[in-house]
Homo-oligomer: A and B are copies of this chain.
């Protein structure tokens, strides 16, 4: 079987660009560095059975009502703050092995979980952040297929930290020599941003709008945690409306 020579990577710089049908059958990576992606990776790495992303609080309440109480945690945030009646917020530091081990976590966040739900018809949907970057890149390098990266951003807007993380995924895929990488304009841009900002990720997070906001409301330690690279080597893979720690991705059958 001949290896494909070219991997085409497209990048969406905000989640508003990504519509559900456009993502169908694609290999999608959803990035929300501050903080949904980082938190989801941490939860799965620390032994959570699954993370069920939902796009609204109402939906979270409905699902958890149908499940057995003590194996379920309701988690997430609205505008960076914990939701009343929920067990956990969106700080990755809360998701210790003691708290999340063996649990199903219903997860609602302002931006990240909505972007994941929108990608439910993707062929593969991965969740990426700096903390699990090498694992995501490794899986994509082995897959050698086209990739769509969604920077979740804040509301409908651009976020520096997600763009730089997307650039780092592309940079590391290039280094892995998985194939010729072909980039759209946004892909070229994030790669250039990675060159400018990727050497000091914590500094970049502190400089970003959402990073500044989080630091102001007392989550400065989260920035340090989210700036860690490969500290949580796990592959959050979406299947059947649930994220679990995944293994290898399946290649498309070769065309006859």
Q: Which of A104-112, A137-145, A170-178, A181-189 contacts B (4 or more CB under 8 A)?
A: A181-189
Bound together, the chains give a CA A158 to CA B149 distance in angstroms of: 14
- Complex contact B209–A185 (CB within 8 A): yes
The reply to whether B192 and A196 contact each other, CB–CB distance below 8 Å, is: yes
Shortest distance from the beta carbon of A191 to any chain B beta carbon, whole Å: 9
Instruction: Encode A154-169 as 1/0 by CB contact (under 8 A) with B.
Output: 0011111001000000
Tell me if A81 is interfacial: C-beta within 8 Å of chain B.
Answer: no
Q: How many copies does the complex hold?
A: 2
- In this assembly, does A39 line the interface, its C-beta being within 8 Å of a C-beta of chain B? no
Per-residue 0/1 for A2-21: is the Cβ within 8 Å of any B Cβ (1 yes, 0 no)? 00000000000110110000
Interface size class on chain A is: 20 to 34
- For residue A193, CB closer than 8 A to chain B, the reply is yes
Known A-B contacts A189-B163, A189-B189; the reply to A158 vs B195 at CB < 8 A is: no
**Contact present for A197 and B207 (CB under 8 Å):** no
Complex contacts, A189 vs chain B, CB 8 Å: 158, 160, 163, 189, 193
> What are 19 A-to-B residue pairs whose CB atoms are below 8 Å?
A13-B158, A14-B17, A16-B16, A16-B17, A157-B186, A158-B185, A158-B186, A159-B185, A160-B188, A163-B189, A184-B209, A185-B208, A185-B209, A189-B189, A189-B193, A192-B192, A192-B193, A192-B197, A196-B196
